[in-house]
Amino acid sequence: MDQKPEQIMRDDPRSSNDNRERIPVATVRGPTVPKKVSFSEKLREARPSKKIVAALMVATAVLTMFVGFNYGGWVSGGTSQQRVTTGAEDAVALRLVPICVAQFNADPQQASKLVELKAITSSWERPDYVKKQGWATMPGEQTPDNDVASACTKLLMGS
């Protein structure tokens, strides 16, 4: 707008017989609209500090462990050892139950003792009855096995 009218006319490529008002080109363009920045572009330009990166690493490790131990089936070494020990004891007891049943079958009063066993209403007292009869005491041992007595009781009650 600082230009003189003659100077505008000289710079204008239109012919001299064009009587339209000459408007400077800069005012024709209108306001500029800022370009929208996408989330990925913002993320690419982000520069987190070392503290934030370290905190995110710790949070990721904690979250991974939480999900793994609660939902992923991970167990600690102590839990694993306990499960192995329990499984081994159960396997041994299952292998000894047929001996308990054989000792029951060898008892001359098995029919009357089976009636007595079934007459006991408490499921806690039934294995004790099997231990008192000596059926859960394995050959070569002095004391009856609790797991064998429980499994033998279940098997005898089912027969």
pLDDT digits (tens, 9 = 90+) for 68-111: 999 999 999 999 999 999 999 989 988 999 999 999 999 999 89
Burial call 121-133: b when 16+ CB within 10 Å, e when fewer:
eeeeebbbbbbeb
pLDDT value for 16 = 62
Token pair for 57: 């690493």
Residue 22 pLDDT more than 90? no
Kindly state whether residue 134 falls inside one of the protein's structural domains: yes
By residue range, what is the domain housing residue 110?
84-158
**Over residues 7-11, mean pLDDT:** 53
Whether 12 maps to a domain, the answer reads no
Confidence of residue 45 (pLDDT cuts 50, 70, 90): confident
Number of domains in the chain: 1
Does residue 69 form part of some domain? no
Establish if 150 belongs to a structural domain: yes
pLDDT in tens, 60-73: 999 999 999 999 99
Flag whether 121 is in a domain: yes
Q: Is residue 30 part of a domain?
A: no
The model carries a pTM of 0.54
pLDDT value, residue 26: 55
Tokens describing residue 65: 């462990």
Decide if 153 is inside a domain: yes
DSSP E strands in the chain: the ranges are none
3-state secondary structure of 122: coil
Do the domain assignments include residue 123? yes
Predicted local distance difference test score (pLDDT) of residue 19: 66
CB atoms within 10 A of CB 137: 19
Of the ranges 5-9, 32-36, 86-90, which is most confident? 86-90
